[in-house]
Amino acid sequence: MMLTLILSLLLTTLSTLAEAAQTPLHSTQDSNASRHLHLTAVVSAPSPPHHAKFECWEMHNPFISYPTIGSSLSLANISNLTLVTLPPRSKEPLHHPPHPMFFILLSGTSHVRLPADPQGDGLWIKEGSIIVANDMEGIGHWTDYPGDGGAVALQAPFEGGIVPEHRVVSDGICDDDTVGDGRG
Ligand SMILES: *[C@@H]1O[C@H](CO)[C@@H](O)[C@H](O)[C@H]1NC(C)=O
Ligand SMILES: *[C@@H]1O[C@H](CO)[C@@H](O)[C@H](O)[C@H]1NC(C)=O
Ligand SMILES: *[C@@H]1O[C@H](CO)[C@@H](O)[C@H](O)[C@H]1NC(C)=O
């Protein structure tokens, strides 16, 4: 629960960063005017060979007003929050995420490429944004950290491997045109 709180606070912070950094966090409004976060997820295709693909997820829990100022959103129960540092211009070989988790890029640049489309654009993860890594089947994905300053990220595994409730909005990465909004 403490980690949920910490993540909520982190999200509030990240949302502020996000606004400064061209809003990598996305949300929508429904007719009840509740705002939901959209996150790009790396998932395994349902049929063999279960190649990794991107989906856009709308997280079930809405943003609510934060008691002081701004908004918060309960993202997930997390266990073993792990900080990772990646050297400049480094490349991870084909791999699965260590656990179903959020990957939160604190600084630097990260580029995810998929075996089904190795020459494709892939996913450029922006500093200050969150993705879901859940391609636990198949052969996984590549992640490159092309920045000269390396990268720093948090891995936030879902407690008990339980993926937080969400709705798949579309195949592919989330549409940047959706206005991100951490405002209260
Ligand atoms: C709006 O809220 C009501 C009551 O909570 C709910 O039944 C309805 O499904 C909501 N509508 C949308 C579009 O989320
Ligand atoms: C976190 O765990 C509690 C207790 O099991 C549960 O009620 C709550 O819905 C969970 N929160 C999220 C965001 O999954
Ligand atoms: C936490 O995760 C790290 C990296 O995946 C692992 O080495 C470590 O054993 C884990 N610790 C616990 C308590 O699960």
Asked if the model's pLDDT at residue 172 lies above 60, the reply is yes
- Choose the residue to mutate in 3, 81, 82 for probing ligand 3, maximizing ligand atoms within 8 Å of C-beta: 82
Q: Answer whether residue 90 shows pLDDT above 80.
A: yes
Q: How far is the CA of 13 from the centre of ligand 2 (A)?
A: 21
Share of the chain above pLDDT 90, in %: 74
Instruction: Answer whether residue 183 shows pLDDT above 50.
Output: no
The verdict on the CB of residue 62 being under 6 Å from ligand 2 is: no
Q: CA–CA separation, 131 vs 25, rounded Å?
A: 10
Average pLDDT over residues 77-106: 97
Contact 97, 158 (CB under 8 A): no
pLDDT of residue 34: 77
Average pLDDT over residues 169-184: 63
pLDDT tens per residue, range 17-52: 444 444 446 665 544 457 899 999 999 999 999 999
Residue 119 has pLDDT above 70, yes or no: yes
In this structure, what DSSP letter does residue 174 have?
P
Q: Which of 1-15, 84-98, 99-113, 116-130 has the lowest average pLDDT?
A: 1-15
| Residues 58, 167: Cα–Cα separation, whole Å | 5
Distance CA 51, CA 42 (A): 10
Q: Cα(80)–Cα(137) distance, rounded to whole angstroms?
A: 22
Tell me if 60 sits within 8 A of 168, measured CB to CB: no
Per residue in 128-155, pLDDT tens? 999 999 999 999 999 999 999 999 999 9
Element (H, E) at 2: helix 2-20
d(CA 68, CA 180): 21
Q: In Å, how far are 37, 58, 88, 96, 177 from 28, measured between CA atoms?
A: 7, 8, 35, 30, 11
Tell me, what amino acid is at 15? S
Looking at every residue in the chain, the average pLDDT score rounds to 85
- pLDDT of amino acid 12: 52
Give residue 175's pLDDT.
Answer: 85
CA of 76 to the centre of ligand 2 (A): 7
Distances in whole angstroms, Cα of residue 161 to Cα of each of 49, 77, 79, 80, 134: 22, 10, 9, 12, 10
